[in-house]
Amino acid sequence: MGDQSINNDRPAKRQVTTGAVGNSVKTWSSPEGRADIRVPFREVPLSPEANEPPVRIYDTSGPYTDPTATIDVAQGLPALRAPWLARRGLDTVPQARAVRPEDNGFVTGKYGVAPCPAEHVVWRGSEGRPVTQYEFACAGIVTEEMIFAAHRENLGRIEKDPDAAARRADGEDFGADIPEFVTPEFVRSEIAKGRAILPANINHPELEPMVIGRNFLVKINANIGNSAVTSSAEEEIDKLVWAIRWGADTVMDLSTGTNIHNIRDWILRNSPVPIGTVPLYQALEKVGGVAEKLTWEIFRDTLIEQAEQGVDYFTIHAGVRLAHVPLTANRTTGIVSRGGSIMAAWCLAYHRESFLYEHFEDICDICRAYDISFSLGDGLRPGSLADANDAAQFAELETLGELTKIAHAKGCQVMIEGPGHVPMHKIRVNMTRQLDACGEAPFYTLGPLTTDIAPGYDHITSGIGAAMIGWYGCAMLCYVTPKEHLGLPDRADVKTGVITYKIAAHAADLAKGHPAARIHDDAISRARFDFRWEDQFNLALDPDTARSFHDETLPKAAHKTA
Amino acid sequence: MGDQSINNDRPAKRQVTTGAVGNSVKTWSSPEGRADIRVPFREVPLSPEANEPPVRIYDTSGPYTDPTATIDVAQGLPALRAPWLARRGLDTVPQARAVRPEDNGFVTGKYGVAPCPAEHVVWRGSEGRPVTQYEFACAGIVTEEMIFAAHRENLGRIEKDPDAAARRADGEDFGADIPEFVTPEFVRSEIAKGRAILPANINHPELEPMVIGRNFLVKINANIGNSAVTSSAEEEIDKLVWAIRWGADTVMDLSTGTNIHNIRDWILRNSPVPIGTVPLYQALEKVGGVAEKLTWEIFRDTLIEQAEQGVDYFTIHAGVRLAHVPLTANRTTGIVSRGGSIMAAWCLAYHRESFLYEHFEDICDICRAYDISFSLGDGLRPGSLADANDAAQFAELETLGELTKIAHAKGCQVMIEGPGHVPMHKIRVNMTRQLDACGEAPFYTLGPLTTDIAPGYDHITSGIGAAMIGWYGCAMLCYVTPKEHLGLPDRADVKTGVITYKIAAHAADLAKGHPAARIHDDAISRARFDFRWEDQFNLALDPDTARSFHDETLPKAAHKTA
């Protein structure tokens, strides 16, 4: 019946949100012969009159929804990847980079957030041995992470769904290559082809592996960031916990200001999903917010700082080249990406090529050593329909294609960030050009927003574009909340953003003809037609809201079982 | 800025919602040489630093947002069409149908809502003279309604927008025929071709004319219905006023139970937008809710009752034929349309062809006499993705195509209702088949919902589908609120539904390459880029929400002018 304590209120201090989603039951499944690999799912049991098996649902929520788990954020989550990593001949880093005052914004005294006490051994890849999932994949080696992700994509099925072939034939996938059943070998081959990534820093052993690529389920990302005044590490962790509870597949920590090193540590030690960052933001903090003071050395040091902590993917705006900046001169909304503006300001200040572009191979070396995936930033993404698909945007995309090749040659995993604000009829060309320019590397877009006129509702303006680009082949959709353009999202906004994007991603899976996506829809439709209200609520993406909306107008329990 | 009394609270008893939307200014514009035709718009003045003219916005809100208007619901709105109608040689109906007890559900005493005292002369078209907009159009006659609607589509421009040709060339309209500038003659020719309708019952003189067709701006409809216990006529009227305030182009009154005749009268006398109904609902009330007791005579009497009141379009489920019913036997969700279920039950009870189908020509004669547009109902629309685009749905569509021809031959205006629940990749074929089967008669769809798994968020699951089908050519989008499948929408839900559908309709206009749609987006984008917060709020579809969201996190006025 759902935990009544689960609502939009923040949990009490020193706690994070726990408890089942609706009345779903946490369950685990292991691939055949690999009892050491336990893949989490949640299952919705149906009422007896349904005479149907429970419905299994992809589960991003981690141990927080496991009633048997003891959650202690000071200790962090279990390091489930540790035994796998231990067998890979990685080097421990005896002299890990020490935390410096600038890493936490020179915070002192009572405003400081203490470091996370969870134990954390720092690893680094060796030369000559595969480190990244890409290197393993290219060497023909199937990793435990790939096995985990494959089993997860199949929702634990041990063979293809009986309707898989029919569903595939019924879909329209725009040339994708979605299998009827996902094998670990398929995951490997997709990663080796550069068509998928499995973001998993070797210093993030707490991660439950997942795969991002257009031949897999469409994924979603939620952004979180620290509050102006951080009251506690738990409050920051709970933003993560709340986002993954509702379905965020990855989370980007976009915190700025004080305590960000320590908060990031707390987040990583307690995150079962890949964590992404924009290292440029922290580097800028270290130079007092003045773009011109940025140097390669400060940036490099920030990469290593975050790499050792375990960040799984980095947004790197190396595609904003000096020559591209003039292409934005006549735009309606100039450069709206924060990373893009920083780099454009730097390039213009010195009239020099971007240090990110010039040092891209050095960045690759760092990313390879920890298996940090690239999320090549679209610093010149349009900030309005007027600027969609313009010369600046596509010039950068071509550069991202070049960089993709370099990163692959260096053994790194790569995905590509995309817009932004794009009217519906210009969305598809974004997808086709990206696939073409970047050798089918996974695309990861922000929306896109399909109109500019609805501030306060940009989860919807962008959810439309997100569903469409997901259908066309976008691998991951970065959520937009109702507060976009207006302010910082609160807890209700984060949930609304995540649910909206789960809708978009699932609508895309259905349209692509994903072999099993419709099982969930069909189950809820049968429940609806049979007036099994409890089953309908429990199968809803957001059981709490479905139940409460029903209660508002038909409060009597009798109506629910009618 | 903005009337602080405008929020989600209901207005005090005996009042309806009035006041400007944001800080927009009500304005009127007349086509050249026709000072008698005053077309309303709202204009958003921008801050002086913008150095830009006010932005003109299509306005469905009627006199309620005119600060100079005296709103007295007992008197009704001014009968602006009366002088035009007076010149058309219509017959007055000396013995208009008297109200009968069953029309109001046999309500008595204190539960009764009094009749609306507004004066209302009942007209009826004559034989041998054009009555309907379709008949005028076919006779080559441009009516005042067509002139009004054309001027409205152009937002009062007297010549084409300078960017019109470029915008048209930049769009993708899937074979539509959108002009760079809408002339009255173009409206006439679209109506004559059956590609557009101008719903305007001759007994609804209060109407501000508008046109529905794929070569015009995409329109949206909001459904309203009476509450279980009606406290006052004002409360019911305010549902209409609230929906049109946020942009509903037409409103369907789906009330059932007691007082519906009188409430409908109050609504019509106070509605500046076309009102649609499903007469079958009231007919069923008259026979105690038992489908088998329905007869042609009772149905016919209900049509005349509502026709004389001034209903502008009727949903008629004449496409549900006896032979179609077995096609739904193996569906996951059977027949979910209420009208469809009623007619299927009737057909099965007698194993007879539907009386709506058999009497379709008689229905046409009634609709023609008052110029009531047909909205041919899709009684077999899918209620789940599993049933989308099935044999039952398309069999009905073919029948609707047949009926369209008959209705046109009888001089009537026709649009076609469409689904429902459809995954993204199956939306387009709905549009192309409808255009083909129904000779390009305007399509009017409910959503469609692109996934079934998100009760509580079906404005979003359907907003995605609505934007897409609008782009493909759907002329009007029937809104879906967050309460769909769960309960009755409240005031906040209605607003959320309308705003979501305005987003979908506008996104479609943009994608189709509407010659002037992007003016609004570009203005708000410039305001955003210049940090003109007040301009951004005022240009938003929902200025109140945009402003309040900004205030939540950045409460100081200083931030707004930064």
| Residues B523-543: tens digit of each pLDDT | 999 999 999 999 999 999 999
Three-point CA angle B213, A459, B472, nearest 5°: 25
The string of DSSP letters for A355-384 reads HHHHTHHHHHHHHHHHTPEEEE--TT--SS
Q: Do A540 and B504 touch (CB under 8 A)?
A: no
Confidence of residue A108 (pLDDT cuts 50, 70, 90): confident
Question: What value of ipTM does the predicted structure carry?
Answer: 0.95
> What is the per-residue pLDDT across B206-237, written as a single tens digit (0 to 9) for each?
999 999 999 999 999 999 988 766 668 888 89
Where would I find the H helices in B205-295?
233-245, 260-269, 279-286
pLDDT value for A95: 86
Strand order in the sheet with B55-58: B25-29, B39-44, B55-58
Task: Give the DSSP H/E element, type plus range, for residue A470.
Answer: helix A458-472
Of the partner residues A451, A454, A526, the one whose CB lies closest to the CB of residue B510: A451
Give the list of residues 6+ apart from residue A154 with CB closer than 8 angstroms, or none: A181, A182, A516
Q: How far is A404 from chain B (nearest CA, A)?
A: 31
Q: Do A452 and B554 touch (CB under 8 A)?
A: no
Nearest residue of chain A to residue B490 (CA atoms): A553
Residue A29 pLDDT more than 90?
yes
Give CA A170 to chain center in angstroms: 29
Q: How far is A121 from chain B (nearest CA, A)?
A: 39
The percent of residues in chain B predicted with pLDDT above 90, rounded, is 88
In this prediction, residues B72-83 reach a mean pLDDT of 96
Best mutation target, A486, A531, A532, A550, to test chain B (most B CBs within 10 A): A486
pLDDT value for B274: 98
Q: Which CA distances in Å does B281 have to A243, B303, B342? A: 44, 11, 9
Query: What is chain B's percent helix, strand, coil content, to nearest 5?
Result: 45, 10, 45
Residue position matching structure tokens 């962008």: A462
Cα–Cα dist B407/A97, whole Å: 80
Cα–Cα dist A372/A285, whole Å: 22
> What is the per-residue pLDDT across A355-368, written as a single tens digit (0 to 9) for each?
999 999 999 999 99
Of the partner residues A332, A471, A483, the one whose CB lies closest to the CB of residue B425: A471
Best mutation target, A174, A427, A521, A526, to test chain B (most B CBs within 10 A): A521
Task: Give the DSSP H/E element, type plus range, for residue B493.
Answer: helix B491-512
Q: Do A171 and B504 touch (CB under 8 A)?
A: no
Task: Give the DSSP H/E element, type plus range, for residue B504.
Answer: helix B491-512
Using alpha carbons, select from B208, B224, B207, B203 the residue that is nearest to residue B309.
B203
Of the partner residues B172, B385, B541, the one whose CB lies closest to the CB of residue A521: B385
Judging contacts by C-beta atoms under 8 Å, the chain A residues touching residue B562 are none
Of the partner residues B500, B511, B524, the one whose CB lies closest to the CB of residue A423: B511
Structure tokens at A394: 């596509």
In this prediction, residues B39-65 reach a mean pLDDT of 97
Of the partner residues A425, A529, A546, the one whose CB lies closest to the CB of residue B172: A425
Structure tokens at B403: 């009926």
Q: How far is A39 from chain B (nearest CA, A)?
A: 23
Residue B7 CB neighbour total at 10 angstroms: 14
Judging contacts by C-beta atoms under 8 Å, the chain B residues touching residue A460 are 459-460, 463, 500, 503
Q: Do A453 and B511 touch (CB under 8 A)?
A: no
The string of DSSP letters for B165-195 reads HHHHHHS--TT----SS--HHHHHHHHHTTS
Give the list of residues 6+ apart from residue B501 with CB closer than 8 angstroms, or none: B220, B222, B247, B459, B463, B466, B477, B479, B480
Strands A25-29 and A39-44: antiparallel
Cα–Cα dist B536/B550, whole Å: 11
Cα–Cα dist B512/B507, whole Å: 9
Cα–Cα dist A457/B501, whole Å: 11
Best mutation target, A425, A430, A501, to test chain B (most B CBs within 10 A): A425
Q: Number of helices and strands (H, E) in chain B?
A: 20, 15
Best mutation target, B163, B336, B452, B532, to test chain A (most A CBs within 10 A): B452
Cα–Cα dist A245/A184, whole Å: 26
Are the C-beta atoms of residues A413 and A444 closer than 8 Å to each other? no
Residue B459 pLDDT more than 50?
yes
Task: Look up the pTM and report it.
Answer: 0.96
Using alpha carbons, select from B511, B424, B461 the residue that is nearest to residue A172.
B424
In this prediction, residues A211-230 reach a mean pLDDT of 90
Question: Average pLDDT, whole number, for chain A?
Answer: 94
Judging contacts by C-beta atoms under 8 Å, the chain A residues touching residue B521 are 384-386, 451-453
Q: How far is B507 from chain A (nearest CA, A)?
A: 6
pLDDT value for A261: 95
Three-point CA angle B254, B257, B259, nearest 5°: 90
Structure tokens at A498: 């995540």
Cα–Cα dist B83/B68, whole Å: 22
Q: How many beta-carbon contacts under 8 Å exist across A and B?
A: 244
Residue A291 CB neighbour total at 10 angstroms: 18
DSSP letter (8 states) at residue A325: G
Q: Do A455 and B549 touch (CB under 8 A)?
A: yes
Q: Do A486 and B546 touch (CB under 8 A)?
A: yes
Cα–Cα dist B457/B452, whole Å: 10
Residue B75 pLDDT more than 80?
yes
Q: Do B549 and A385 touch (CB under 8 A)?
A: no
Q: Do B425 and A455 touch (CB under 8 A)?
A: no
Question: Average pLDDT, whole number, for chain B?
Answer: 94
pLDDT value for A7: 41
Are the C-beta atoms of residues A294 and A347 closer than 8 Å to each other? no
Residue B205 pLDDT more than 80?
yes
Q: Do A385 and B518 touch (CB under 8 A)?
A: yes
> What is the per-residue pLDDT across B256-269, written as a single tens digit (0 to 9) for each?
888 999 999 999 99
Task: Give the DSSP H/E element, type plus range, for residue B215.
Answer: none
Judging contacts by C-beta atoms under 8 Å, the chain A residues touching residue B513 are 425
Among A245-259, A359-373, B215-229, B404-418, whose mean pLDDT is lowest? B215-229
Best mutation target, A457, A500, A519, A535, to test chain B (most B CBs within 10 A): A457
Are the C-beta atoms of residues B546 and B540 closer than 8 Å to each other? yes
Cα–Cα dist B500/B318, whole Å: 30
Residue B3 pLDDT more than 50?
no
Are the C-beta atoms of residues A182 and A154 closer than 8 Å to each other? yes
Give the list of residues 6+ apart from residue B463 with CB closer than 8 angstroms, or none: A460, A463, A464, B447, B480, B500, B501, B503, B504
3-state SS assignment for residue A5:
coil
Residue A207 pLDDT more than 80?
yes
- Please count the CA atoms within 13 angstroms of the CA of A398 that sit on its side-chain side: 9
